């Protein structure tokens, strides 16, 4: 017993010692980064430390809301964050971000012009684009004879019980609003009411409202059509060559995850260096290949393997993406409740 | 029919309990990111061992679990001894207070601790994680030590004092050996609770300090990555091996004492 207590005391002392030492190293010349899970090539942080001597203290979150919940109370001072479009809008409103002087970033010029002056940050004064992607329809070419170029195909009786919809209120209501030709950011209750009716009408055709598990089922041919993100579509098409992806002509949603500096950041200079590093074409290409989403940096895209670079799934033609019916979500805080009540009704209808 | 149920009852329960885990282990060897069998591979294990952030999360998880379960065991054991000697109404109050953290949802403990830490300006990171884990596991230790104390004859302790033992010596030689099984059980519960915990850790973590459960959760964003399966498989196998070794040791001890 004595030996055991001794051993445990030793263990604790040693680990406390190590921890306190580790703590010392972090205070100077380190930046804290809070990013989505699995959203960077793990080598990139090491490369950054090698080149600049700045240590990266790295943490991860699973979604925008979770990130917001941990950053907002101000208990932890993160330097760099990676919110999506609508969350950036919200954080700017709440004064949680620092202005980013893009002239200080050598590699900012690499970012394609169409990812500048985006609606959530019209002056490019707070955010630097990191990754982007679209939402569209993944379909099995062996099961779908019609040309898939419109959301209408998801309302086609022929595909009864062969359709997967996304189990997410925002994404599903977006599909209906787009089909009706409205903006997906509408606050008009009449338009939302119409969207609700449309989705209730569609419910009998839907095999299931799926989350992540839909991907595997789609590859297995359990359904013919599915609403999906381009990044997921690439993964699925890789597994099953019969699958194809289309962005409907009525328009769709596209997202941009950007890099921002938190108001609480204490090491702004190092934060600039980190952002600049991530915008360097070779680094951006490394990340794009690891993550599987699309990079907003053309020079980085050129470094990618042929099949990704030329893919119209990951990199749709300019005229598709710059069309005015491609929209980004805006801050939903004011309409969250209406959305969830609509969604509950739709789900309850079948 | 009834006899069939009788015979297969244990098997059915075991299947229900372990089928998901078996499936998860199987897919950790799957040569595809999606849950469709595409052939055998060890690449997810290679990926896991090459990912420094997973190893770091694992290390933090273990450090937090060891320190917090040790502290909770010490605090809980002494608290139980104190509570055990209280008069009945005090005891009732103390025990009910002990039950409150057990019965209240994790998320309430998590948020209230977060508020407390930000008021007293404790730096978020390892300190907050360790203190919060001690907080939620101490009641379990108290509850597992309590019955052992009740079983013990308090006169033994007084007899030891009468025979000249100092209180500390009497605790070491008389009380502690008696309540030892309860203390060890409590320590194990505290340890596993700490490794398990997600909600409380989530609200009290700091920059750069992710526990394994937080890491796994954030990785699941882009679909359940088989690396997660690989981590879980290794954790599960380790626990099974520890249990087996412990069982074998106990059995050996038993058979030894029987032959004596």
Asked if B53 lies within 8 A of A58 by C-beta distance, the reply is: yes
Domains in chain A: ranges and CATH: 2-132+256-317 (3.40.190.10), 133-253+324-348 (3.40.190.10)
B-chain residues within 8 Å CB-CB of A26? 208
Neighbours of A112 (CB within 10 A): 15
Strands A127-140 and A225-229, bridge-based pairing: antiparallel
**Parts of chain A with a pLDDT under 70:** 1-28, 350
Minimal Cβ distance to B124: which of A38, A76, A231: A76
Band of residue B144 on the pLDDT scale cut at 50, 70, 90: very high
Domains in chain B: ranges and CATH: 1-46 (no CATH), 53-227 (1.10.3720.10)
Lowest-pLDDT range of A180-189, A252-261, B25-34, B216-225: B216-225
What's the mean pLDDT in B164-179?
91
CA distance A203 to chain B (A): 25
What is the H or E stretch that residue B245 is in?
helix B226-259
The pLDDT value recorded for residue A24 is 44
A184 within 8 A of A178, measured Cβ to Cβ: yes
What would you measure as the largest C-alpha separation in chain B, in angstroms? 73
B108 within 8 A of B233, measured Cβ to Cβ: no
The pLDDT value recorded for residue A6 is 67
Please indicate if any CB of chain B lies within 8 Å of the CB of A76: yes
The pLDDT value recorded for residue B221 is 66
**In 3D, which of A278, A271, A261 has the Cα closest to residue A108?**
A278
- Quote the tokens at residue A64: 């925008």
Asked if A37 lies within 8 A of B126 by C-beta distance, the reply is: no
- What is the ipTM for the molecules in this complex? 0.72
Please indicate if any CB of chain B lies within 8 Å of the CB of A232: yes
DSSP B54-88: HHHHHHHHHHHHHHHHHHHHHHHHHHHHHHHTS-H
CA distance A43 to chain B (A): 9
DSSP B192-220: HHHHH--HHHHHH-BTTB--HHHHHHHHG
3-state secondary structure chain A: CHHHHHHHHHHHHHHHHHHHHHHHHHHCCEEEEEEECCCCCHHHHHHHHHHHCCEEEEEEECCHHHHHHHHCCCCCCCCEECCEHHHHHHHHHCCCEECCCHHHCHHHHHECHHHCCCCCCCCCCCEEEEEEEEEEEEEECCCCCCCCCCHHHHHCHHHCCCEEEECCHHHHHHHHHHHCCCCCCCCCHHHHHHHHHHHHHHHHHEEEEECCCHHHHHHCCCCCEEEEEHHHHHHHHHHCCCEEEECCCCCCEEEEEEEEEECCCCCHHHHHHHHHHHCCHHHHHHHHHHHCCECCEHHHHCCCCHHHHCCCCCCCCHHHHCCCCCECCCCCCCCHHHHHHHHHHHHHCC
Give the chain A residue whose CA is nearest to the CA of B128. Answer: A75
B103-124 pLDDT, tens digit each:
889 999 999 999 899 888 888 8
A-chain residues within 8 Å CB-CB of B38? 239
The pLDDT value recorded for residue A13 is 64
Residue B67 clears pLDDT 90, i.e. is over it: yes
Asked if A220 lies within 8 A of B215 by C-beta distance, the reply is: no
CA distance A76 to chain B (A): 6
Strands A163-166 and A225-229, bridge-based pairing: parallel
Name residue A165's beta-bridge partners.
Answer: A209
pTM, entire model: 0.79
The pLDDT value recorded for residue A327 is 87
A272 within 8 A of A280, measured Cβ to Cβ: no
Give the chain A residue whose CA is nearest to the CA of B33. Answer: A235
Asked if A8 lies within 8 A of B70 by C-beta distance, the reply is: yes
Residue B151 clears pLDDT 60, i.e. is over it: yes
In whole angstroms, what is the distance from residue A272 CA to residue A276 CA? 6
Name residue A166's beta-bridge partners.
Answer: A210
Residue B145 clears pLDDT 90, i.e. is over it: yes
3-state secondary structure B88-149: HHHHHHHHHHHHHHHHCCHHHHHHHHHHHHHHHCCCCCHHHHHHHHHHHHHHHHHHHHHHHH
DSSP state of B164: T
The pLDDT value recorded for residue A26 is 46
Please indicate if any CB of chain B lies within 8 Å of the CB of A26: yes
- CA–CA distance from B122 to each of A51, B71, B204 (Å)? 33, 18, 10
Residue found by looking up tokens 């921002």 in the block: A260
Count A/B contacts: CB-CB distance under 8 Å: 103
Residue B68 clears pLDDT 50, i.e. is over it: yes
Band of residue B65 on the pLDDT scale cut at 50, 70, 90: very high
């Amino acid at each position: 017993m004595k030996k055991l207590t001794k051993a445990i005391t030793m263990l604790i002392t040693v680990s406390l010692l190590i921890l306190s030492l580790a703590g010392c190293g972090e205070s100077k010349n380190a930046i804290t980064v809070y990013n989505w899970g699995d959203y960077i090539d793990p080598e990139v942080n090491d490369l950054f430390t090698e080149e600049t001597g700045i240590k990266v203290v790295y943490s991860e979150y699973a979604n925008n809301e979770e990130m917001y919940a941990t950053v907002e109370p101000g208990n932890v001072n993160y330097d760099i964050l990676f919110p999506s479009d609508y969350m950036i809008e919200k954080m700017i409103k709440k004064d949680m971000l620092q202005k980013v002087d893009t002239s200080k970033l050598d590699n900012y010029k690499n970012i394609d012009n169409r990812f500048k002056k985006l609606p959530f940050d019209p002056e490019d004064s707070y955010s630097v684009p990191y990754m982007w992607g679209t939402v569209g329809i993944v379909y099995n070419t062996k099961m779908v004879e019609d040309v898939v170029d419109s959301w209408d195909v998801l309302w086609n009786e022929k595909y009864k019980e062969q359709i997967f919809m996304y189990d997410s209120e925002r994404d599903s209501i977006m599909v209906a609003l787009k089909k009706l030709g409205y903006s997906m950011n509408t606050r008009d209750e009449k338009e939302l009411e119409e969207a609700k009716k449309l989705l209730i009408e569609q419910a009998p055709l839907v095999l299931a409202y799926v989350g992540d598990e839909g991907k595997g089922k789609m590859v297995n041919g359990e359904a013919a059509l599915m609403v999906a993100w381009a990044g997921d579509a690439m993964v699925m098409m890789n597994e099953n060559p019969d699958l194809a992806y289309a962005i409907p002509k009525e328009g769709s949603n596209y997202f941009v995850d950007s890099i921002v500096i938190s108001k609480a950041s204490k090491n702004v200079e190092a934060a600039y260096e980190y952002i600049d590093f991530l915008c360097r074409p070779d680094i951006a290409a490394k990340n794009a290949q690891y993550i599987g989403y699309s990079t907003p940096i053309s020079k980085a895209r050129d470094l990618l393997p042929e099949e990704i670079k030329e893919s119209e799934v990951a990199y749709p033609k300019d005229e598709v993406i710059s069309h005015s019916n491609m929209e980004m979500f805006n801050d939903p805080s004011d309409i969250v409740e209406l959305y969830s009540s609509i969604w509950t009704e739709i789900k309850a209808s079948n | 029919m009834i006899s069939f149920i009788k015979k297969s009852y244990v098997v059915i329960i075991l299947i229900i309990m372990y089928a998901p885990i078996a499936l998860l282990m199987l897919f950790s060897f799957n040569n595809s990111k999606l849950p469709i069998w595409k052939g055998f591979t060890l690449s997810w294990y290679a990926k896991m061992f090459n990912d420094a952030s997973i190893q770091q999360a694992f290390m933090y998880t273990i450090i937090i679990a060891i320190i917090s379960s040790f502290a909770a065991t010490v605090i809980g054991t002494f608290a139980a001894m104190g509570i055990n000697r209280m008069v009945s109404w005090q005891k009732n109050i103390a025990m009910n207070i002990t039950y409150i953290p057990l019965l209240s949802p994790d998320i309430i403990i998590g948020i209230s601790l977060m508020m407390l830490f930000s008021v007293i300006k404790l730096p978020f990171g390892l300190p907050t994680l360790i203190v919060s884990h001690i907080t939620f596991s101490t009641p379990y230790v108290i509850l597992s030590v309590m019955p052992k104390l009740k079983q013990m004859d308090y006169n033994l302790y007084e007899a030891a004092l009468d025979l000249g033992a100092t209180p500390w010596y009497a605790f070491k030689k008389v009380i502690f050996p008696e309540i030892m099984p309860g203390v060890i059980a409590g320590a194990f519960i505290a340890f596993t609770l700490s490794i398990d915990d997600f909600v409380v850790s989530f609200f009290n973590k700091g920059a750069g300090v992710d526990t394994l459960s937080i890491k796994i959760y954030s990785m699941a964003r882009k679909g359940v990555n088989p690396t997660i399966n690989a981590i879980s498989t290794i954790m599960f196998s380790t626990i099974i091996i520890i249990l087996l070794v412990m069982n074998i040791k106990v059995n050996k001890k038993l058979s030894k004492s029987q032959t004596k």
